[in-house]
Amino acid sequence: MSKLITPRRLQGFNELDPMRQLQFDQMISKIKDVFEHHCFVPLDSPVLELSEILLAKSGGDIDKEIYRFSKGSTDMCMRYDFTVPLARYVAMNQNTLDFPFKRYQIGKNYRGERPQKGRYREFYQCDADVIGSETLPLVYDAECIALYPECFKSLGFEIQVEISDRNILNGIIADVKQEDKINEILTLLDKIDKIGRNSVIEELTTLNIPVEDSKKLLSVADNKGSIKDIVNKLEGLSNNEKFIQGIENLKTIDSYLKAFGVSEENYIYNLAVIRGHNYYTGTVFEAFLKSNRNFGALGGGGRYENLAEYYTDRKLPGVGMSIGLSRLFDLFATNGLIPEPKKSIADVEIIPLGETLNECISLSTQLRKRGLKVDVASETRSFKNKMKDANKREIPYIIVVGENEVATKEYPLKNMKTGEQIILSIERIIAELRK
């Protein structure tokens, strides 16, 4: 015999055991329901994209993390998020789509980053985006934000979304005449929470930005509170058109959030929220668990006016929200925020006595047709061992079928938790198990 290969998994690629996977799938199902109640439709873009498509407007650290390879003469990449493939899809189908186009996608993405606890190279993400033709009203920015409280409420958690508009800081950057360094400045300001104000100022000086100008930028980014707080502190601070537009955008979004019924407990304005991707052009937001702010952002998104400009001359502005499902589930599971999974999904197990296996299979078929999850202990083991196994797997109910049960069409239904056993017809068994 040849030497056996040690079974092992690639680093950064996770897999859940079946019962945890069921919990994960249930989480996805609840989020899908929220999206579809808002009339977002599903889309499943390919995992592989042509490199010229996927890399058109990525940039920064993302390029270093992309899985890129060739097959023959084809240069391709594995998708690192859903937004660029969405832009490609909309550009390809712009003449047949109805705008605004509201879509969601839930699936795996790939980034060759250093694996850490809760951060994987293969990970599930879910996105909901709205794409417009030429223009897209701010009401859709508010709707994407409003999805967060609904999604997390369906999972049993309260969320707080932190909201900003990049135009506000862009206007101040223009005031200090540093537009040529706008991406570098925003990247540094995005690190305030991670490295602190003083470190950000030090790094801004390496870009030859005067300390006074750096302090002015930080004084704006430091603002956090209600829309009233933001307006009181910032209105009139600058005459820059983008700055003024950014403030007005937040006012408008706030009015829509109230119309969507989003509680003020579930959102706050924080001008330090910038988001790392350079394709965001206006509204940006990040979502945090209210009870565990130290978990960090569990999702984020924003407005992008020109993402499809590399694929079409038509202006296709969009806004989207995203939730990192793999990280979210890992945090919930490791911190005891979701119950331990069941050891079986069965509602009931049928155990044959004697030569009754065919009748047991027939009975299981009838019960399954009525919506119950049914297993049959078909293996050739002793009755005692089958009962032990059912108890170990925490099967809630057992039906034992012998020759007498086949003849009478009445069966003993045993509650494995209480030990109570009652003789019932099929219809009464169904009624009992549905309680």
Helix 197-205 vs helix 182-189: crossing angle, to nearest 10:
160
Give yes or no: residues 373 and 267 share one domain. Answer: no
* Residue 7 domain flag: no
Strand pairing report for 397-401 and 348-352: parallel
Give yes or no: residues 324 and 221 share one domain. Answer: yes
Q: Residue 166 corresponds to which tokens in the numbers above?
A: 């990049």
Give yes or no: residues 326 and 352 share one domain. Answer: no
- Residue in the block written with tokens 């609904």: 150
Give yes or no: residues 55 and 179 share one domain. Answer: yes
* Residue 392 domain flag: yes
* Residue 4 domain flag: no
Give yes or no: residues 262 and 407 share one domain. Answer: no
Give the integer Cα–Cα distance in Å for 140 and 319. 7
Give yes or no: residues 388 and 310 share one domain. Answer: no
Q: What pLDDT sits at residue 127?
A: 98
Q: Assign 3-class secondary structure to 5-20.
A: CCCCCCCCECCCCHHH
Nearest to 197 by CA among 270, 269, 272, 268: 272
Give the integer Cα–Cα distance in Å for 154 and 67. 34
The full DSSP string for 284-329 is EEEEEETT-GGG--SEEEEEESSGGGGT-SS---EEEEEEEHHHHH
Q: What is the chain's Cα-based Rg?
A: 28
Instruction: For residue 233, report the phi and psi dihedrals to the nearest 5 degrees.
Output: -85, -30
At 66, which CATH number?
A: 3.30.930.10
Q: What pLDDT sits at residue 61?
A: 53
Nearest to 60 by CA among 187, 164, 182: 187
Sheet with 348-352: list strands edge to edge.
Answer: 374-376, 348-352, 397-401, 410-415, 421-425
Q: What pLDDT sits at residue 430?
A: 93
* Residue 341 domain flag: no
* Residue 362 domain flag: yes
pLDDT digits (tens, 9 = 90+) for 85-102: 999 999 999 999 999 999
Note every long-range contact of 214-218, with CB atoms under 8 Å and residues 24 or more positions apart, other chains counting.
Answer: 216/172, 216/175, 216/176, 217/169, 217/172, 217/173, 217/176, 217/185, 217/189, 218/189, 218/192
Give yes or no: residues 308 and 398 share one domain. Answer: no
Cis peptide before 42 (omega within 30 of 0): no
Give yes or no: residues 49 and 126 share one domain. Answer: yes
Mean pLDDT by 10 residues, the chain (435 residues): 86 92 96 98 96 76 83 95 93 96 97 82 96 96 98 96 95 88 84 81 85 87 94 91 96 98 97 82 95 90 88 94 95 90 93 95 96 94 93 95 95 95 94 89
Give the integer Cα–Cα distance in Å for 378 and 356. 10
* Residue 2 domain flag: no
Which residue among 288, 312, 334 closes a domain? 334
Give yes or no: residues 359 and 297 share one domain. Answer: no
DSSP state of 266: G
Which residue among 293, 312, 334 closes a domain? 334
How many domains does one find in the chain? Answer: 2
Which residue among 334, 359, 393 closes a domain? 334
> Does an H or E element contain 41, and which?
strand 41-42
pTM of the complete model: 0.90
How far from the centroid of its chain's Cα atoms is residue 256's Cα? 23
Give yes or no: residues 69 and 206 share one domain. Answer: yes
At 361, which CATH number?
A: 3.40.50.800
Q: Do 229 and 166 touch, CB atoms closer than 8 A?
A: no
* Residue 51 domain flag: yes
* Domain encompassing residue 263: 18-334
Helix 197-205 vs helix 211-221: crossing angle, to nearest 10:
140
165: CB partners within 8 A, 6+ apart: 246, 247, 249, 250, 282, 283, 284
* Residue 321 domain flag: yes
Give yes or no: residues 380 and 402 share one domain. Answer: yes
Give the integer Cα–Cα distance in Å for 275 and 163. 11
Q: What pLDDT sits at residue 248?
A: 96
Give yes or no: residues 101 and 49 share one domain. Answer: yes
User: Over the range 293-304, which residues count as b (16 or more CB within 10 Å of their CB) and which as e?
Assistant: eebebbbbbbbb
Q: Do 108 and 16 touch, CB atoms closer than 8 A?
A: no
